[in-house]
Amino acid sequence: MPPTISRIVQALEPSATIAMATKAKELKAAGHAVYDLSLGEPDFITPPHIRQAAREAMNAGHTHYTAVGGIPELKQAVVDQYRATHGLDYAPNQVVVSNGAKHALHNAFTALLDPGDEVIIPAPYWVSYAELVKLTGAVPAIVQTRQEDDFKLSVDRLRAAVTDKTKILLLCSPSNPTGSMYSRDELGALADAAIERNLLVVADEIYERLVYEGHSFASFATVRPGLQDRVILVNGVSKTYAMTGWRIGWTLSPVNVAKAINGLQSQETSCPSSISQHAAIAALQGPQECVDEMLAEFTRRRAFVMKRIAEIPGLSCAEMAGAFYAFINISEHLGRNYNGKRIDDSTTWCLELLEKQNVATVMGSAFGAEGYARISFATSMENLEAAFEQIEEFVGQ
Ligand code: PMP
Ligand code: GLU
């Protein structure tokens, strides 16, 4: 008899983004030409000055455990960045550096949630939120939003979803998977409702620097006075500096929450990678032109992706204000035959697109929105051009 897996882990959905990327990699390894639009990670290598800082850190002997929540210089660099960019005053003891923003989210949920508590998660949502909530025994309360509302949660829908058990509202802006972003006023209205109903807000702002012209980002903690007392900001270096593999993210939270997260992390992982922490300091404090250059390239790709989606009959997407995803409405192409095979849902559509046309995307159902497919355009223009040829051929059948 194989060992029994715990109930809580049995109930966990594995990450669909990572599952599709793994499938794509396997097909590639088997010799197929795969156009991989599945995983949201910049295709660029980490900028040279950041890599150099890591080399120097190793050579200087920074190869030991560090303070649990990160070395003081990195915490200070995070604090300085929030003061300079958003005018927010945080103290270093409110920062906990973790092994990526995903881990930071896990820490925040684990530190705050008891079994039975509810977390409001607007859908479409990033694949990991609901699962990380479930790991704590708490309950994700999914609230649908609509493409015609730019996939934004309205105050009315928020109010209607709050129960006596609601503890946290989760917001991701700019959004993975839709690229939509709340304005300062919209966040202000949500903040008022959160204050009125005494909710904590976990604000995932990992795409804050990847915002396109004509749109401006507001950090949730800045939209009303005193919000820092009820907000847990989640951020990191993975997306902004093309550092997904270094695994550095953080939370900024009220002191008692930071203390709890620190205690948790001391038992979980001891500390984030010492070398990566030094690289993250270089990222935050070094020249920022690399971010502008990457954003310029994402801007070019976004324009191409929006043009191609508009050109292909039956596909549509809301305009992306930030991040590097397009959440494509494929509903007109569901419920019909593809070479004699009927496709009714986004999972079958995405798997068939991968199998028949070698294009890897992620099914909308994994983000809580049937009738959609997510593509990441954090990949080369050549890859995107070829992938859209394939998508056009696929839906043209
Ligand atoms: N939040 C969002 C919205 C994301 O898309 C990601 C993607 N990885 C993360 C958090 C986690 O980032 P990290 O790689 O730093 O764990
Ligand atoms: N966040 C990225 C994505 O959504 C990376 C994979 C993951 O962590 O889910 O594709």
Which pLDDT does position 388 carry in this prediction?
98
The CATH fold of domain 49-285: Aspartate Aminotransferase; domain 2 (3.40.640)
CATH superfamily name and code, 7-45+290-395: Aspartate Aminotransferase, domain 1 (3.90.1150.10)
Ligand 1 contact via 249 beta carbon (within 6 Å): yes
10-residue stretch averages of pLDDT, the chain, 397 residues long: 94 91 93 94 97 98 98 98 98 98 98 98 97 97 96 98 98 98 98 98 98 98 97 98 98 98 98 98 98 98 98 96 98 94 96 95 97 98 98 96
Distance spanning both ends of the chain, measured CA to CA: 47
Which pLDDT does position 248 carry in this prediction?
98
CA 309 – CA 169 distance, rounded (Å) = 32
Which pLDDT does position 278 carry in this prediction?
98
7-45+290-395 and 49-285, same CATH topology: no
**Helix, strand, coil % (nearest 5) of the chain?**
45, 15, 40
CA 279 – CA 7 distance, rounded (Å) = 39
Count of beta carbons in the 10 Å neighbourhood of residue 330: 25
The tokens for 80 are 């300085």
Name the helix (H) or strand (E) containing 123.
strand 118-123
Q: What is the pLDDT of residues 63-83, one digit of tens each?
A: 999 999 999 999 999 999 999
Which pLDDT does position 104 carry in this prediction?
98
Q: What is the pLDDT of residues 347-366, one digit of tens each?
A: 999 999 999 999 999 999 99
Ligand 1 contact via 41 beta carbon (within 6 Å): no
Ligand 1 contact via 244 beta carbon (within 6 Å): yes
**Domain extents for the chain?**
7-45+290-395, 49-285
Say whether pTM exceeds 0.85: yes
CA distances, 149 to each of 181, 182, 191, 210, 366 (Å): 11, 11, 19, 21, 20
Ligand 2 centroid vs 98 CA: distance in angstroms? 17
Q: Kindly list the protein residues whose Cβ atom lies closer than 6 A to any atom of ligand 2.
A: 15, 17-18, 39-41, 102, 126-128, 176
Q: Which ligand is nearest to the CA of 379?
A: 2
Ligand 1 centroid vs 338 CA: distance in angstroms? 34
Q: What is the pLDDT of residues 219-267, one digit of tens each?
A: 999 999 999 999 999 999 999 999 999 999 999 999 999 999 999 999 9
The closest residue, in CA terms, to atom 9 on ligand 2 is 17
Determine the atom of ligand 2 nearest the C-alpha atom of 18.
6
